Amino acid sequence: MARRGTPISIGDYWQLRAPERRLLLWALLIALLGYLMLLGAGPKDGLDVQFVALVPFLIYLGTFVSAHLLLVLARFRGDQLLLPLTALLSAIGLIAQARTGLFAAAALDPAKLIPLPLGVALMLIFAIAGRGGRYRLATRVTWLWAGVSLLLLALVLATGQRYRGAVYGFGFITPTELLKLTLVLFTAAFVDQHLKRLSRWRSLLPPLRSLWPLLLVWMLVLAMLLVQRDLGLVLILGVMLLAVLAAGTRHPGYLAYGLVLGGAAGAALISLFTHGQRRVEVWLNPFSDPTGAGWQVLQGLSGMYAGGLWGEGFSQARPRYTPIAESDLIYAVWAEELGFAGSVLLVMLFALLLIRLLTLAARARTPFGLMAATGVAAVLSVQTLLNIGGVTKALPLTGITLPLISHGGSSLLTVFASLGLVLAISDGEPVKSRRKSMVKPDKGEATIEKRERSARQAKTGKAA
Amino acid sequence: MELLNALFRSPPWEAVRLGLHLAFGLALLFWLWQALQLRFVVPLKHLARPRAWLLPVVGLLGLSLVAILGYQATWQLGGTARPQFIAFMQSHDRRQFNPAHWIQRGRILDQRGQVLAESRNRDGAAERVYPYGSVFAHAIGYADPRFGLSGVEAMANPALNGSTLDSLGDWGELGRQLLTQSKRPRGQDLVTTLDAGLQQAAVEQIASAKGIGRGAVVLMRPADGAVLVMASVPGFDPNQLQPTLFRGADPATPLLNRATQGQYPPGSVFKVILAAQALENGFRGRLDNPANGYTTSSRYRPIRDHEYYEAQRSGRAWAGHGVLDLTTALAKSSNVFFAQLGVLGGHRALTKTGERFLFNRSIAFVGGPSGTVHLQAAQLEPIPERDRYGLAQAAIGQGRVTTTPAYMALVAAAIANDGVAMRPRLLRDTKPEVLGRFMSADTARRLRVMLRRAVTDGTGRGIETAGLEIAGKTGTAENPQGASHSWFVGFAPASAPRLAFAVLVEHGGYGSTVAAPIARDLLLKAAEQGF
C-alpha cells in the first residue's frame, strides 16, 4: 500500500489523479467502440452516416475530458473511481438513447444534447464547491431544503398534468426528481443538528419531542406525493429516510419501526389505491390482460427473450417495439441488443457504482457527510433495483428511471448533482489541516520519492 | 466521414463488427477488473475507517442484484418454459428475429403414427400444417401467431415448443441453442390417443347423416380413458384460419366443439342415469304404464310414450306398455315409466345422483403443465321442490337437463368400467387417472345387461350385428329448434367392453335409425382395425 506524500502543485495533482485518468480514458475508448458499432448499422440500411451523428459523442467526450482536467485544476483529492464510472454508465446511456432514436439527425436539438454536459457541470460545481469539508455549509440552511422540497411539490400539484396515471410537471418535466437531493440534504442536516437527542431512546419509545419537525415535513411530502400517485418515489424516499436515520443515530429502532410502519402503510396503500392495485395485479399475472395493462412489461420481456444470451448486437435489434423504451424500459433495450451477457455487465457496473457510494458513505469523516452520502446511495440503490426489477418483472413496474441511463433531464441532473455531493464528501477533512501539513519544511524530498513509488505501484497494480 | 462510411459498407465490416462486439465486452470486463484494482492504488487514506454496517449492506445489495439477474434469466434464457409467454410473443411480437416465431414445433401424431400436425418451413418462417384439415379441427386445435392456441396444440404447448426439460440431453440442447443463438429451436413430437381413420370415418358419417349434417362423435376406451375419436361437425380448416371464424357470425358455429361443449337435451339417453339411480337406491319393482300417459297435475300435458303418438298418427289404438320392470322399460324406452320413476325417487335423489355424476361441472382431460382440454358435464338446473312435473320431465331427459356428447360417452365408459369413470386422455404418454366412481360395480353390471337387452330386444335392435355385441341406449330428444336430436350412447362388446361411445346427430330424428347405425359402422371399422 502506497503512503502518499502531500501533493502541492498542479503537477502533483496531475500525478495523483493518474488512476482516474487511466480508467477514464479506457471508459472513453469503450464508449467510442460502442458508438462506432452503433453508427455502423446505418449504411447497411442505405443511410450514410452524417457528421451530425457524431455530435452527441463529441459533446460527451469533451464533457468528461474537461471534467477530469477541472478536478485536477481544482486540486481535488476525492474519490477517483466515481468519475470514470459515471462516464462509462453515461456512455451506455448515450448509446442506448441513440438506439431509441433520440439523436436522429433530423431531430438533433439542443434540448436533448444539453442535459449531459449540464449535469456533469453541476456535479463538478457540487464537488469543487463542497470540497475540503465545505459541504457542511449545507447544514446551516436546513429549513431551506425543507422549504424548497415542499414548494416544489406544491407547485407540481398546482400546475401539474396527469399522464399515465401520475402527475407530471409542466411540459412533462418532473421537478419532483429534485426531491431526491433536497430531502437528502434536509434529513441529513436535521438529524445532524439533533443527533444526540435523536439517538437517545426511552426504552422502546423514539424521542418524539425532537423528532416531530422531521416527521411533520415528511408527512406533508409523502401526503403530497401520494396525491400525485407517485408510489415509486414514495418508496425511494421512504427507504432513504430510514437509511439516513439508522446510519446517523446508529439506533436500530428506527429501522424496526420504519419497516413495520412502512409495511403496514404499503399494504394499506395498495388496498386503497386502484392505481397501485392494478400494477400489483399486472405484476403477478401480466397475461390476464396481455394487450392492455400487461403490454409494456411483456413487450420488454419479449425483446429480452429475442435478444437471448448474446443479443443481436448494436443496432441490430428492434427496440422501437418496446414501449417507453427511452426512459423506463431502457434496460430492456440494452438487454435486447447485447443479450443477457450485456445486462450482466451493466448490472456489474451499477453494483460497482452503488458499492462505491456506500463505501464512501461508510468512510465519511463527519456525521453529516455520512448521512448525506448514505442518503444518496440509498436513493440510487432503490431506484436502480426498482427499475431493473420492474423491467424484468421481478418487482411491479413503478415508472421509475434508471439512473444515468434513462432519458430524462431532471432525473439526470439530480443524479449528477447527488454524485457531486458524494464527491465533495469524499474529499474529506477541511483545507486548514491540509495547509498545516504543507507548511512542514523538510518533507518535500521524501514526498517526491514516495510519490514516485506510488506511481510505480499504480503501474504494477494495473499490470496485475 | 467518407472513410467511415466506406468502412461500414465494405464486406468485411460484418466480421469486424462481430470482433468489435467481442472487444467491447472484453474491454468492459477489463475495465471492471481495473476498477477493482484501484482500491489498492487509491486507498482513500484521508477518510475514516469504514463503518461496520458496510459489509452487510453491500452483501444485501449484491444479493438483490443477483436475484434480479437470476429472475431475468428465467425469462430471457428460459422463456420457452413459459407457454403463455411464448404464445404472447407468437401473437404480439413484431420482431422478426424473435426465436419464438421460428420454433419448429414438434409433430402431433395419432396412435398409429399418422401425422395430424407438423411444422414446415415456408419462406424462412415456420408454418403449421394440418394434413387432415377440418377433421381434427377441435381435437388437435390450432397454433397460430394471430389467433393463439387451442386443443392439443394448447395442452401440450411446452413439449411441442421443446421446452420441457426432462433429461440432461434436453438441458444440453437448450444450452447449445442459447450459446449459438440458434434461431431454429426444435420441439418434441407428440403421440395422441386419437385414431385418424376412425375420426375421419366419424366425421364423414355425421356430415352425410340425415338432418343438417351436424353433430358429434366421441369414442373412448373405458379402462384408461383414452379418447380415440373426438369429432365435431362442422369443423373449420386450421390451415386457413380467418378472422370471420372468430367473430361467430356463422350460424353453423363451426368453432364450437360440439363433442365437449355442445349442450343438447339428452332425451332418452338420460334414462341410463335414472336407471343407475334407481338401481343404486334399491328399486326392484314394477310400474304400471297407462297408454294415456302420466302427469303430476291435470294442468300439465301428460307425458306419453312415442308409440302412443305413432298409433294416433296412423289412427290405430294402442293399449300401452302395461306393467313393466326396469329392464324392459329401459329396452322399450318408456317415457311413462321413467317419468314416474323420477318422481318416485324425488328431488333429493336426483340432486344426489347429480353430485355423484359430476353434473354442472367442467371435467378436465388428463393435461399437461400448460392447461388442458375440458368437457362439460350434464347441466341440470335446480328444480324447485314444488315442481314435480319438472322432475318428471328431467327424468326422461327433457326440460331442465342438457348434456354434451363427450359426457354421455364418459357415463357409458363408467358403466363399462364397473362404475368407475376414468379421466379422459388425449395424449398417449400420460398416466390414466381415476375421475370418480359414478355407481357401484353391481349397478354397473346390471346396467350392462339392461343396455345389451336394449339392443337385442329394444329400441336398438335395428343395429344388432353378430360379433360386435353392442350395448347401448337410443335417444330422440325434442328441442324447440326443429326436428329431434338423434342420440346413441353405449359400449361394446357388452360382456367385456373395450370401447364406449356417444353419437349425436343434430335434428337427425330417431336415435334408432340415425345415430345408432353410425355407432355400429364405427364399431365395425374399429373391429376391423383390431380394437
DSSP string covering B62-121? HHHHHHHHHHHHHHHTTGGG-HHHHHHHHHH---TT-GGGT-BPPPEE-TTS-EEEEEEE
Do the domain assignments include residue A294? yes
Query: What confidence tier does B522 reach under pLDDT thresholds 50, 70, 90?
Result: very high
Closest CA relative to residue B468, chosen from B524, B415, B406, B508: B524
pLDDT of B369 reads 53
DSSP string, A315-365: TTS-GGGSTTTTTTTHHHHHHHHHHHHHHHHHHHHHHHHHHHHHHHHHT-S
Residue B5 has pLDDT above 90, yes or no: no
Q: Give the Cβ contact number of residue B67 at 10 Å.
A: 13
Say if strands B115-122 and B215-220 run parallel, antiparallel, or are unpaired.
Answer: unpaired
Query: What confidence tier does B189 reach under pLDDT thresholds 50, 70, 90?
Result: confident
Q: Which of A173-177, A229-233, A306-310, B270-274 has the lowest mean pLDDT?
A: A173-177
CB contacts of B4 in chain A (<8 Å) are: 39, 49
Angle at B86 between CA B425 and CA B182, to 5 degrees: 110
Q: Is A210 left (phi over 0), alpha (psi -120 to 50) or beta?
A: alpha
Residue B512 has pLDDT above 70, yes or no: yes
The residues, ordered by sequence, that sit 6+ positions from A389 with a Cβ below 8 Å of its Cβ are: A395, B68
Q: Is B4 on the interface with A (CB under 8 A)?
A: yes
Give the Cα separation of A300 and B92 in Å (integer): 12
Q: Is B15 on the interface with A (CB under 8 A)?
A: no
Amino acid at position B360, single letter: N
Asked if residue B347 lies in contact with residue B383, where contact means CB atoms within 8 angstroms, the answer is yes
- Cross-chain Cβ contact B32/A37 below 8 Å: no
Q: How many structural domains comprise chain A?
A: 1
Closest CA relative to residue B415, chosen from B276, B268, B516: B276
- Cross-chain Cβ contact B94/A318 below 8 Å: yes
Give the Cα separation of B413 and B518 in Å (integer): 18
Residue A92 has pLDDT above 50, yes or no: yes
Do the domain assignments include residue A95? yes
From the CA of A308, how many Å to the nearest CA of chain B?
6
- Cross-chain Cβ contact A363/B51 below 8 Å: yes
Give the Cα separation of A246 and B192 in Å (integer): 63
Residue B520 has pLDDT above 60, yes or no: yes
Average pLDDT over residues B16-42: 84
Residue B426 has pLDDT above 70, yes or no: yes
pLDDT of B153 reads 87
Residue A445 has pLDDT above 50, yes or no: no
Instruction: Show which of residues 345-374 on chain B sit within 8 Å of chain A, judged by CB atoms.
Output: none
Residue A459 has pLDDT above 50, yes or no: no
pLDDT of B371 reads 66
Q: Is B147 on the interface with A (CB under 8 A)?
A: no
Do the domain assignments include residue A457? no
Query: What confidence tier does A1 reach under pLDDT thresholds 50, 70, 90?
Result: very low
Instruction: Show which of residues 146-205 on chain A sit within 8 Å of chain B, judged by CB atoms.
Output: none
The residues, ordered by sequence, that sit 6+ positions from A51 with a Cβ below 8 Å of its Cβ are: B1
Average pLDDT over residues A295-324: 80
Q: Which stretches of A29-181 are assigned E, i.e. beta strand?
A: 161-163, 166-168
Asked if residue B335 lies in contact with residue B274, where contact means CB atoms within 8 angstroms, the answer is no
Q: Residues of chain B with pLDDT > 90: what percent? A: 56
Higher pLDDT, A270 or A145: A145
From the CA of B239, how many Å to the nearest CA of chain A?
25
pLDDT of A460 reads 47
Q: Which of A104-113, A328-337, B135-144 has the lowest mean pLDDT?
A: A104-113
Asked if residue B393 lies in contact with residue B399, where contact means CB atoms within 8 angstroms, the answer is yes
Report pLDDT digits (tens) over B461-484. Answer: 889 888 889 999 999 999 988 899
Q: Is A428 on the interface with B (CB under 8 A)?
A: yes
- Cross-chain Cβ contact A393/B75 below 8 Å: yes
Buried b (16+ CB within 10 A) or exposed e, A75-105: bbbbbbbbbbbbbbbbbbbbbbbbbbebbee
pLDDT of A167 reads 52
Q: Is A58 on the interface with B (CB under 8 A)?
A: no
Query: What confidence tier does A316 reach under pLDDT thresholds 50, 70, 90?
Result: low
Report pLDDT digits (tens) over A126-156. Answer: 999 998 888 989 889 999 999 999 998 888 8
Asked if residue B388 lies in contact with residue B179, where contact means CB atoms within 8 angstroms, the answer is no
pLDDT of B172 reads 74
Which three cell numbers mark B286? 314394477
CB contacts of A354 in chain B (<8 Å) are: 61
- Cross-chain Cβ contact A370/B77 below 8 Å: no
Residue B172 burial (C-beta neighbours within 10 Å; 0-12, 13-18, 19+):
exposed
Q: Is B24 on the interface with A (CB under 8 A)?
A: yes
For residue B109, the cross-strand partners are B115, B191
Asked if residue B81 lies in contact with residue B158, where contact means CB atoms within 8 angstroms, the answer is yes
Nearest residue, CB atoms, B23 vs list A33, A287, A302: A33
Closest CA relative to residue A180, chosen from A219, A117, A130, A225: A225
Query: What confidence tier does A3 reach under pLDDT thresholds 50, 70, 90?
Result: very low
Which three cell numbers mark A251? 439506533
Do the domain assignments include residue A338? yes
Amino acid at position B271, single letter: K
Higher pLDDT, A332 or A163: A332
From the CA of B153, how many Å to the nearest CA of chain A?
18
Asked if residue B405 lies in contact with residue B475, where contact means CB atoms within 8 angstroms, the answer is no
pLDDT of A295 reads 86
For residue A163, the cross-strand partners are A166
Closest CA relative to residue B128, chosen from B110, B113, B150: B150
Q: Give the Cβ contact number of residue B416 at 10 Å.
A: 28
Query: What confidence tier does A204 reach under pLDDT thresholds 50, 70, 90?
Result: confident
Give the Cα separation of A89 and A98 in Å (integer): 14
Report pLDDT digits (tens) over B364-400. Answer: 998 765 567 899 999 999 999 899 999 999 999 998 9
Residue A280 has pLDDT above 80, yes or no: yes
How long a stretch of residues is chain B? 531
Instruction: Show which of residues 400-419 on chain A sit within 8 Å of chain B, judged by CB atoms.
Output: none
Asked if residue A299 lies in contact with residue A323, where contact means CB atoms within 8 angstroms, the answer is yes
Q: Is B403 left (phi over 0), alpha (psi -120 to 50) or beta?
A: beta
Give the Cα separation of A251 and A232 in Å (integer): 26
Measure the N-to-C terminal CA separation of chain B; round to a whole number of Å: 77
Average pLDDT over residues B330-343: 93
Phi, psi of B77 (to 5 degrees): -105, -35
Domains along chain B with CATH numbers = 82-191 (3.90.1310.10), 196-528 (3.40.710.10)
Q: Is B58 on the interface with A (CB under 8 A)?
A: yes
Do the domain assignments include residue A278? yes
Do the domain assignments include residue A4? no
Do the domain assignments include residue A456? no
Query: What confidence tier does A163 reach under pLDDT thresholds 50, 70, 90?
Result: low
The residues, ordered by sequence, that sit 6+ positions from B432 with a Cβ below 8 Å of its Cβ are: B223, B224, B225, B226, B366, B422, B423, B425
What is the 3-state secondary structure of B394-421?
HHCCCCCEEECHHHHHHHHHHHHCCCEE
Cis status of the peptide bond prior to B234, with omega within 30 of 0: yes
For residue B379, the cross-strand partners are B402
Which three cell numbers mark B503? 353419437
Q: Give the Cβ contact number of residue B96 at 10 Å.
A: 12
Give the Cα separation of A378 and A242 in Å (integer): 9
Q: Is A385 on the interface with B (CB under 8 A)?
A: yes
Give the Cα separation of A304 and A343 in Å (integer): 10
Asked if residue B427 lies in contact with residue B226, where contact means CB atoms within 8 angstroms, the answer is no
Disruptive mutation site among A302, A360, A460 for chain B (greatest number of B CBs within 10 Å) = A302
Helix (H, G, I), strand (E, B) or coil at B265: coil
User: Which chain A residue has the Cα nearest residue B78?
Assistant: A305
CB contacts of B41 in chain A (<8 Å) are: 2, 19, 454, 457-458, 461-462
pLDDT of A50 reads 76
Do the domain assignments include residue A225? yes
pLDDT of A59 reads 93
Nearest residue, CB atoms, B75 vs list A301, A344, A454: A301
Q: Is B299 on the interface with A (CB under 8 A)?
A: no
The residues, ordered by sequence, that sit 6+ positions from A207 with a Cβ below 8 Å of its Cβ are: A197, A198, A200, A201
- Cross-chain Cβ contact A317/B95 below 8 Å: yes
Average pLDDT, chain B: 88
Highest mean pLDDT among A38-42, B27-31, B149-153, B168-172: B27-31
Query: What confidence tier does A105 reach under pLDDT thresholds 50, 70, 90?
Result: low
CA A409 to chain centre: 13
Instruction: Show which of residues 257-316 on chain A sit within 8 Å of chain B, judged by CB atoms.
Output: 287, 290-291, 298-299, 301-310, 312-314
Report pLDDT digits (tens) over A213-232. Answer: 999 999 999 999 888 878 88
Nearest residue, CB atoms, B35 vs list A23, A247, A309: A23
Residue B185 has pLDDT above 80, yes or no: no
Disruptive mutation site among A76, A305, A320, A385 for chain B (greatest number of B CBs within 10 Å) = A305
Query: What confidence tier does A442 reach under pLDDT thresholds 50, 70, 90?
Result: very low
Asked if residue A356 lies in contact with residue B54, where contact means CB atoms within 8 angstroms, the answer is no
pLDDT of A311 reads 84
Give the Cα separation of A266 and A268 in Å (integer): 5
Q: Is B180 on the interface with A (CB under 8 A)?
A: no
- Residue corresponding to grid cell 376412425: B198
Report pLDDT digits (tens) over B66-115. Answer: 999 999 999 998 887 777 788 788 778 877 778 877 778 889 999 999 99
Q: Give the Cβ contact number of residue B248 at 10 Å.
A: 11
Which domain covers residue A45, as residue numbers?
10-449
Average pLDDT, chain A: 83
CB contacts of A362 in chain B (<8 Å) are: 50-51, 53-54, 57
Q: Which residues of B are catalytic?
A: 268
Asked if residue A68 lies in contact with residue B37, where contact means CB atoms within 8 angstroms, the answer is no
From the CA of B127, how many Å to the nearest CA of chain A?
19
Q: Give the Cβ contact number of residue A285 at 10 Å.
A: 12
User: Which chain A residue has the Cα nearest residue B37?
Assistant: A461
Residue A438 has pLDDT above 60, yes or no: no
Query: What confidence tier does B166 reach under pLDDT thresholds 50, 70, 90?
Result: low
What is the 3-state secondary structure of B123-135?
CCEEEEECCCHHH
